[in-house]
Amino acid sequence: MSKAKRGKKAVNLSISADLQRAARSNDINLSAPLESAVARQLRRRRWLEENVGVIQAYNRDVEQSMTDCEPSNADVDARIEFRMKAISDADPTGRRDTVP
């Protein structure tokens, strides 16, 4: 077995025909970007799991701060949701995730 094949597993997956044709015509090997995207998602999920307590504490602090200012409940909910999304969209290195 070659070094390139060691530790690899062949899988079947489906993508749009147009995307597959475009990748092939541009000599893009789909395995490398797929591995990178899956690894990034796994790191992101692990980071979120490890930091869920911090995120929840931050949201409680924000909620308390907003309550102290007496905005409407809708404003509090919108601000908390915005901040939670911003935190959860960040990858473990603090960069914004650029891949949908």
CA 98 to chain centre: 9
Residue 74: pLDDT over 50: yes
Rounded to whole angstroms, the Cα distance separating 56 from 59 reads 5
Return the pLDDT at 14: 93
Return the pLDDT at 73: 67
Return the pLDDT at 16: 95
pLDDT tens figures, 7-65 = 889 999 999 999 999 999 999 999 999 999 999 999 999 999 999 999 999 999 888 88
Residue 85: pLDDT over 90: no
pTM listed for this prediction: 0.51
Number of other CB atoms surrounding residue 62 within 10 Å: 16
Residue 3: pLDDT over 60: no
